[in-house]
Structure 1
Amino acid sequence: MKLLRHLFAFYINSSIHVALAVVALTFITVLEYGITISTQLLMFIFFGAITGYNFVKYAKIAGLHHRHLAHSLKAIQIFSAICFLILLFAAFHLPLKLLLIAGCFGVPTFFYAVPLIRHKNLRSLTGIKIFIVAFVWGGITVIVPITAAGADISGDVLLTFFQRMTIVVALMIPFEIRDVPYDALNLKTLPQQIGVWGTKMLGEGILLICLVFEFLKENTDLAYLSSLFVFSVILGGLLIISKPYQSRYFASFWIEGTPILWWILYVLLKNTQVLG
């Protein structure tokens, strides 16, 4: 049992879970637009998510305590290094144009942890952290696979991109609420500015906007709309019960796992639709 707890903690702390969520959102785009993408691109997205997240989370800690790292953090460092090598291997098999587009969304991730101006990184800039993450996730899970498939960036695709950004903002809100007791006041996060309840209501409004975006598209997939609605209801319910002092894995497992649930639900509804 102790071994299972350690493995589960490593699964969460090494960002495998969040990387699977990113891949799930990518699969949703693939299914929605009926496109095909390569295994190398999926590898690039999955291992890129692990590398990026672990760099942001642990770079500063490793720099400060390099000689005194806990065994778990050392294991994550080694794992991240292996993931980075696989990322390079996958990138070698992708077109330069696609890598440049992916790079446009990857650069904010780098400067999220590394100082950009006046010894400040993007994380420290007032109130924009949540939107940077949304922009990166939206681009990697919508624009990159659409471009890789050679499809046009149509109005519907742009609506999906903005829709995906709103979803990621809503996904980030429980983390913002969780971090209220620990965030410095100068960060001016959403809960610090409009309160916990106000932030929850903003999240519910964002999910509503996400649903409205779907009705603005020229082509709407009923299975996608239905799965999106159920996903939004579930995430909206989790937003309501979010609180500053959460159970250990409420945000990092349950909230981050909702895109995986959405993808599974979409696949089931899509298959039912085809069989019907």
Structure 2
Amino acid sequence: MTCGSPEPTTRSVAVFTADGVRLSGVVAAPGHDLAVVVGHGFTNNTARPTVQRVLRRLARGRTVIALDFRGHGRSGGRSTLGVDEVLDLAAGVELARRLGHRRIATLGFSMGASVVVRHAALTPEAERPDAVVAVSGPARWYERETPPMRRLHWLVEEPAGRLLARALGVRLAAAWREVPPSPVELARRVPPTPLLLVHGDRDHYFPAEHGRSLHLAAGGGAELWLERGMRHAESATSPELVDRMGAWLDANAPASSDRRQDGHVA
């Protein structure tokens, strides 16, 4: 933060998902009109300095709600790598509604980016967030073309890797019984909800082709920012980029009631 900027007021919260998982997280800068529900990346949580830095910056002029995904941090349950985490994000959106927010947006990083896209696509339009931002997100599952993703697959697929994941603070669920629809398969369902895709041209987990594929799949109903020199997710997100994403949300997240009056929601 710049010198002299006040720290946002932050309090801890706990909520339950529709399938009964207890999630822990934080609400920062309560009381603003726009609430942004943030989904972190795999192995991250709201206590990590890189995540906290983004949350504090985003909370300048907005309420920020961030919950540790299941199997991460102080939350219960086990990580399903972005599938049941849609219920976790929905719990954050519902908390924003209970707090009285008329304007609600979602913003996710990496695994959290896949979650915000899938959540918007799978939620009835009248119940969706008012805008969605996906940063460094995968277009498809089973990316193995980059060394970090090959290491991640070892982490989640091999017994020794799953033990290491637990040491890293992630509790993993069993392997998928059925492969769920991927973000690129669902992206076309997100519009007319405003969708911003942010991807680094030096992303070492998911190459920039993932961002382009999501943009193409959205059928022109999304905006794509290819960030020069940016690598992956929260650790690569500069304060300046947080400010630009925040300004985009300020301008592109009309209240749900306003969208209904404009006839944009069935």
Fold agreement, TM-score > 0.5:
no
| TM-score, structure 2 as length reference | 0.33
Higher RCO (CA < 8 A, seq sep 6+): 1
Larger helix proportion, structure 1 or 2? 1
| TM-score, structure 1 as length reference | 0.32
Task: From the CA coordinates, give the structure whose radius of gyration is larger.
Answer: 1
